[in-house]
Amino acid sequence: MISATSDEQLVSIYQSASEAAEEAYNELVSRYYQALFKTCRSYLFNLRNARLMYEGIDSLARDITHDFMVDLLPRILRKYDMSRGSLRTWLNRCLINYATDVLRRRPRGTIDSFQVEEEEWKSFRIVAEVLGEQSIYQERDLMDIQRVLLSHLERLPDHYRRPLELRFWQGLSVEEVAKELRLPLGTVKSQLSRAITILRQRLQAEGWETELR
């Protein structure tokens, strides 16, 4: 079964141009699409670019990942050499280069303009987590949401507020938050999920629309 074949073997089959090449290609696409989407999404988010935030990072990441897989992936696989390192690492590097080129070709200097300050970006991150990144709101609305959301955050019990602050304001991973608070990882995950749910419900109660999760 081709699903049990290693990545390297799939690439070799694809490069061989045999009858199984198309099946091998489709299997690689199936294996890597979601991982590449997450790489692209993380890259766009870490640019800390307000305009990208307003346009919807998830939507843009999907478009870039799709176009990358259609436009470049066949050529990349044909030229891939295992001596360059793992296929996953190579594809991630190629995708980031592709995403950078896409952004540079866009009008209005997407990468270079609308950079936001560190504290403001941390606030944007929690807004994105609560509302969803494909926000329907404009810049002024997002600023209002940010203000309202932070006021609700301050009123959360410490066992909800503290993990959120560590996660979004100090940029710690969930594992690092658990270590900092000396709590089991499962407990921290539960606290973060519950805290975000509470904030989302409070925004909904005040008339702010949030994406369905």
All structural domains of the chain with their residue ranges = 2-105, 118-205
109: left (phi over 0), alpha (psi -120 to 50) or beta: left
Residue 127 is predicted with a pLDDT of 65
First vs last Cα of the chain: how many Å apart?
Answer: 35
Residue 139 is predicted with a pLDDT of 45
| Mean pLDDT by groups of 10 residues along the chain of 213 residues | 78 87 90 89 70 69 92 90 79 88 68 47 62 50 68 87 80 86 93 90 76 42
Residue 84 is predicted with a pLDDT of 66
Cα distances from 17 to residues 32, 78, 145, in angstroms, run 20, 10, 54
Strand residue runs (E) in the chain = none
Q: Which phi and psi (to 5°) does residue 115 adopt? A: -70, 145
Question: Which residue type is seen at 58?
Answer: D
Residue 123 is predicted with a pLDDT of 56
Residue range 118-205, CATH number = 1.10.10.10
Q: Which CATH architecture has domain 2-105?
A: Orthogonal Bundle (1.10)
Residue 143 is predicted with a pLDDT of 61
Residue 167 is predicted with a pLDDT of 82
Residue 111 is predicted with a pLDDT of 46
Q: What is the pTM of this model?
A: 0.53
What contacts 22, CB < 8 A, 6 or more positions away? none
What contacts 176, CB < 8 A, 6 or more positions away? 166
Residue 33 is predicted with a pLDDT of 92
Are the C-beta atoms of residues 110 and 52 closer than 8 Å to each other?
A: yes
Please tell me the distance from the alpha carbon of residue 125 to that of residue 169, in angstroms, as a whole number: 9
Tell me 84's DSSP state.
G
Q: Which phi and psi (to 5°) does residue 49 adopt? A: -110, 115
- Please name which of 52, 41, 44 lies closest in space to residue 135, comparing C-alpha atoms: 52
Residue 103 is predicted with a pLDDT of 83
Residue 125 is predicted with a pLDDT of 62
